[in-house]
Amino acid sequence: MELFSYSLRKLATGVPLVIGVTLVSFLLMVYFGPDKTFELVGKNPTQEQIDEVRAQLGYDQPMVVRYAGYLREIVTFDFGSSDSTGEPISSILARTVPISLAVALPGFVLGNVLGVLLGLLAAFYRGAWPDKLIMGSAAIGMSISFLIVIIGFQILLSSSSGLNLFPVRGWSMDSFGEYVSYVTVPTLATVFVALGYNTRFYRSVIVEETTRDHVRTARAFGVPSLQLYCKLILKNCLIPIITRIMFSIPFVVISGSLLIESYFGIPGIGKITYDAIITGDQPILKAVVALTAIMLVLVQLLTDIMYRWVDPRVSLK
């Protein structure tokens, strides 16, 4: 019951965020955005045809009414249909989100798990050569642009100049073997890019924790190092780790990895969003922005509940 009322209150405080995000993007993309009338009317339109299209797009109504229409779309979860293909947004999302998840999830999980492990290793050997090696590599990894990593891996693994092991681009999930062959290069690129940042972040969190008094006391009592790191330190690091992982989820799921998907031609939500940006397909963009904001609010709530779960001292007030 406490949890339920807390959730309701938390969701209520999320409303201003959703309103802000949708209002800003509505103003930028739709209200001040490009006029789509003449892309939709035929050649040599009469004034009636122009008026009809403008009415259909809602251009004849005041801004407040049009924004209210957008909010209604969000509440009813009915975002209309794509401007360019006419396909309903809900079916586009149902088709593309699973693909994006399949593309992004292996890289996301591996990037964070390896990041925590390397962070632990660096913190354990703090100041010694393994720490310097790991942090040096992280600094190098952070300095290579995502784009260069993608193209580099493509040259090395999928082109005739390199090993030529995987398809250059494209997507298929018909069989597990095909899925693996298409997902490997994007995953490697994602992990490579995320690893530098993740390792640095997790190392600093873990090092901070090793300087605590209770850790020193445990060490003085002769608790073995492995047990010390896994049971005492890692457990206390869970809050920043959870925060970092949870807050990147909405961007992974909804915007997908726009760059990865458009580069490799993977038909996920990121590719759809990119195409919508290029063609100015506003219904899709409106849906993507609104869903990202809603997911962020939900993720915030979930994160707070998880804090309670890992640290009973946290109270839900």
Partner 1 sequence: MNTAAEVMEAEALSDAAAESLWTKGLYKFRRDRVGLWAFAVVLLYVGVALGVWLGFWATGWADLAGEKWEPVSSAHWFGTNIIGQDIFDRAIYSTKTSFEIGLVVAVLATALGGILGAIAGFFSGSWLDELILWLMGVLDSIPFLLFVAAIAYTLQGNPYSMHIAMVVTFWITAGRLVRGEVIKLKEMEYVDAAHALGVPEYTIIFRHILPNTSHILLVQATITFVAAIKSEVILSFLGLGVKDGMSWGLMIAESSQEVLAGFFNNFLSASVLLFGLVMAFNLFSDALQDALDPRTVSD
Residues that bind partner 1 (CB under 8 A): 16-17, 20-21, 24-25, 28-29, 32-34, 139-140, 142-148, 151-152, 154-155, 159-161, 168, 251, 254-255, 258-259, 262, 273-274, 277-278, 280, 285, 288-289, 292-293, 296
In angstroms, what CA-CA distances link 186 with 170, 225, 314?
A: 11, 36, 38
Cβ-contact 288, 254 below 8 angstroms: yes
How many CB atoms are located within 10 Å of the residue 81 CB? Answer: 16
Indicate the residue among 80 and 152 with the shorter CB distance to partner 1.
152
In the complex, least distance from residue 2 CB atom to partner 1, rounded to whole angstroms: 25
Q: What tokens were used for 35?
A: 């006029």
In the complex, least distance from residue 288 CB atom to partner 1, rounded to whole angstroms: 7
Indicate the residue among 161 and 225 with the shorter CB distance to partner 1.
161
C-alpha span between 271 and 171 (Å, rounded): 12
In the complex, least distance from residue 145 CB atom to partner 1, rounded to whole angstroms: 5
| Per-residue H/E/C for 193-211 | HHHHHHHHHHHHHHHHHHC
In the complex, least distance from residue 34 CB atom to partner 1, rounded to whole angstroms: 6
Indicate the residue among 238 and 259 with the shorter CB distance to partner 1.
259
Hey, what's the torsion of the CAs at 39, 33, 268, 254, to 10 degrees?
Answer: -150
Indicate the residue among 29 and 239 with the shorter CB distance to partner 1.
29
Closest alpha carbon to 200 in 119, 277, 306: 119
CB-hemisphere CA count at 13 Å for 145?
4
Cβ-contact 7, 56 below 8 angstroms: no
C-alpha span between 265 and 271 (Å, rounded): 7
In the complex, least distance from residue 68 CB atom to partner 1, rounded to whole angstroms: 19
In the complex, least distance from residue 141 CB atom to partner 1, rounded to whole angstroms: 10
Indicate the residue among 234 and 297 with the shorter CB distance to partner 1.
297
Indicate the residue among 113 and 142 with the shorter CB distance to partner 1.
142
In the complex, least distance from residue 10 CB atom to partner 1, rounded to whole angstroms: 14
Cβ-contact 193, 145 below 8 angstroms: no
Indicate the residue among 17 and 218 with the shorter CB distance to partner 1.
17
Indicate the residue among 8 and 27 with the shorter CB distance to partner 1.
27
Residues in the chain, overall count: 317
Q: Where are the beta strands (DSSP E) in the chain?
A: none
**Position 271, amino acid:** K
Cβ-contact 307, 250 below 8 angstroms: no
In the complex, least distance from residue 248 CB atom to partner 1, rounded to whole angstroms: 12
